Chains A and B, each alone.
Chain A
Amino acid sequence: MIRSNGKYLASVIVFFTLGCVIITAQQHSQSKIEIKLIRNVETVVEASGIDESALRKLRDSNLPQSALTKIFPVTVGALPGSGEVTPMLGDYTITNDSIRFKPRFPFDPSQQYSATFDLKTFAQLCGEELYEGRDDLIRLVFSLPKSADSVATTITNVYPSGDRLPANQLRLYIHFSGPMSFGEAYQHIHLFDESGKQIERAFLIFDQELWDATRERFTLLFDPGRIKRGLRSNGDLGLALIPGRKYRLVIDKEWRDGAGQPLGSSFEKTFVAEQPDRNKVDPEKWDVEAPPESTRVPLRLIFPRPLDHALLESAISIFDPEGKPVSGRRELCPGETEFRFTPTDSWKGGKYTIRIDTALEDLAGNNLRGPFDVDLSQQDELRPDQKYAIIMFSTLPKQ
């Protein structure tokens, strides 16, 4: 009895196993096709779970890339939309069990994309009966995950840093912590008056925008047409800034950086406008605090009015009693009313020369040669064409 039962049991086990194998095999062919984004050395989109023999047929048929684009198009935007959508350029690779798409240009972190696997077209092109009759579209909508250590770009400084500006202020410098994009600056910069009303046409707009070479410093010019006495704009609109009034400069955080990401936060600067400044910059009026000899105490130059932050970086040079240039570190104090120079080597005893480029400007664009805004009808003072102005100082005796 037991022996016959054993045979019976053996057959059941065999058939059961065979059945399992058959069922498993079928399930494997019908296993879910899924699409995912893979980030390794390269970022690719992969459609996996496709039947291996179907893929083999596709590979062997040596279809051109344009055909593969019909099976597995990747497009910009969250939904493919209706009608024609042009697929992205890229390379398709067929592996043993997947089709991979590597875009021609890196995925843009600020965009959403759609990857669609068209099973019907796939079945047609590889002649695989397994998928015949299925017309599924398997789709993934994705965007690049923000990496944990990507820090948003921010505005680090706006110069002039003071909160009192002359009504004929010429320039503002906006400093960013990293490179910015170009093409959208002016829509993100606003000037509001005390009542909250936005002041139109306060700034000069340049198609190319005014950036330094690293695109981390943006120069914003107030429209001097409103400032230069007598030019049309001033007659029609008047000065953008009225003395005695308070203003608010706002920079939107929507301004995108070089990677297409918005800024970490928006920026505001409140200031009061003072009487327009139409006097030339006069080094004779500077307070020169000479350092003691044989020390490296910084030379301090204190200005009665703030000067232009960017120009101060290169306008002032120091020469020793023998006329040789002195190397050292330049520093501007907040408010741009004090310049400090710390020499690399100790000061010698004697008379030093401070050489100032006459193009050095104050906040209103007046320089050492004359005011920005010259009244030609009253040309009492011709502007000398000298490149430099000189002031001298002697080091203090050893303490």
Chain B
Amino acid sequence: MKLRTWLYCFLAASSVAMTAVISYGHPGSPMTAGMSVGAPDIKSAGSMTFGPDGILFIGDSQGAAVFAVDLDDTTKDSSSDKVDVIGLDKKLAAMLGTTPDNVFINDMAVNPISHNIYVSVSRGRGPDSMPVLMRVTKKGAIEEVPLSKVMFSKTVLSNPPKPDAKTEWGEPERPMTITHMVYSGGELFVAGLSSEEFSSSLRRFKFPFKDDPESTSLEIFHASHDRYETKAPIETFMTFHANGQPVLLAAYTCSPLAIFPIADLKQKKMLRGTTIAELGGGNRPLDMISFWQNGKEYVLISNSNRTLMRIDPADIDKAQPLTTGVKEDYQTAGVKYVSVAITGILQLDNLNDKYVVVINRDMETGALNLRSIQKDRL
């Protein structure tokens, strides 16, 4: 009898403990607080970035929301191997039961802990386009990452562009609600467009998500257009440093490079950034990373209409603000860059100590390949 009593007590106690664990997420990670298990209602899987503990943030421009998903992919990888997948679009299309022209790769992000490569995809066109999350493993195997039963939380973006809104150039604004995201110091920075008058916005969400995000409207001097702009969205950005100060380094369409001190972002509702370079008109910067080569740090930017660009941080420190326009189309100004002779880079991220990984359209064969490039060759 006594034994039975003990047994019941034990069962009761462990049930309580289990409930506590389930409510508060993984026993190991306080970052999953506020998450619950289910199927996130993602309408479009776009820009992605990793947060702490392998948590993946997925930006949903159509649904005007950001999802934080715990993919349980936290096994540390210390290798420095490369990964290559030839014909990535063909393989993705075959797996998704369609043809390559019906599959759109939106973004790529490498899990900094496991080094698995995540790819956000749209399957199909038209109103039935479906979001899919895929993963390329270190062995080059492609898998779907099922999202029907995961630990996740969601935050909603207020004032996204209206579904019919168009930019000055006639492009629909809604898909640019979220253009890029970066997690840093307990906050998720989200760049994109809003429906406010100064439409280029940078939102900041504390993570784990709470109820009020803060946001700042941004203005920069656009040297190719020779005017101050508030409507061009940031294409890509990252946290960096200039003269010892933490800054956001941001690249815009057509294509200014600007810095915003992070301390100012936290205090001001409207901020004018310092334009430090004009990378050349008629171009969209696509991705930006920092990487180390022979003990020295560099910034690397990939572009829609130019080669990879490599920038020395010492030049960023010395940069003078640009406030006058360039005289001719396509002219560059400000911070120098080295044109690394690699083109067709559609996605770029750090893979490990030795390699960056890219999704690259081969100019000669037309193939879309995922490939690793050695950092000491950049």
Contact = CB atoms under 8 A, between A and B. Distances in A.
Interface residues of A, number: 35
Nearest to B90: A86
A107 B97 contact: yes
Nearest to B164: A213
Interface string A109-128: 00101000000000000000
Contacts of A103: 97
A331 B12 CA distance: 72
A294 interface: no
Contacts of B101: 183
B171 interface: yes
B171 A208 contact: yes
Given A183-B125, A207-B171, A258-B128, A89 B163 contact: no
Contact of B126 (A106, A179, A210): A179
Contacts of A259: 126, 128
Interface in A182-214: 182-183, 204, 206-208, 210, 212-214
B96 A88 contact: yes
Interface string B117-156: 0000001111110100000000000101000000000000
A259 B128 CA distance: 8
A89 B96 contact: yes
A104 B170 CA distance: 36
Given A76-B93, A87-B95, A105 B175 contact: no
B126 A215 contact: yes
A105 B96 contact: yes
B144 A104 contact: yes
Tell me what chain A mostly uses at the interface: helix, strand, loop, or mixed.
loop
Interface string B361-378: 000000000000000000
Interface residues of B, number: 27
Contacts of A85: 94
Tell me what chain B mostly uses at the interface: helix, strand, loop, or mixed.
mixed
Given A108-B102, A182-B126, A208 B97 contact: no
Contacts of B127: 179, 214-215, 258
Contacts of A113: 97
B246 interface: no
Interface string B84-128: 000000110111111101100000000000000000000111111
A181 interface: yes
Given A89-B144, A206-B170, A207-B171, A180 B97 contact: no
Contacts of A105: 96-98, 123-124, 130
A89 B123 CA distance: 13
A204 B94 CA distance: 33
Contacts of A48: none
Given A208-B172, A208-B175, A212-B164, A111 B126 contact: no
Contacts of B95: 86-89
A257 interface: yes
Contact of A88 (B97, B124, B125, B166): B97
Contact of B125 (A86, A87, A104, A182): A182
29 contacts: A75-B94, A85-B94, A86-B91, A87-B95, A88-B94, A88-B96, A89-B97, A90-B97, A103-B97, A104-B97, A105-B123, A105-B124, A106-B97, A108-B98, A108-B102, A108-B124, A111-B97, A113-B97, A180-B126, A182-B125, A183-B101, A207-B171, A208-B171, A208-B175, A210-B166, A210-B170, A210-B172, A258-B127, A260-B102
Given A76-B99, A181-B125, A260-B102, 9 more contacts: A76-B98, A86-B94, A89-B144, A105-B123, A106-B97, A182-B126, A208-B175, A214-B127, A259-B126
Interface of A: 75-76, 85-90, 103-108, 111, 113, 179-183, 204, 206-208, 210, 212-215, 221, 257-260
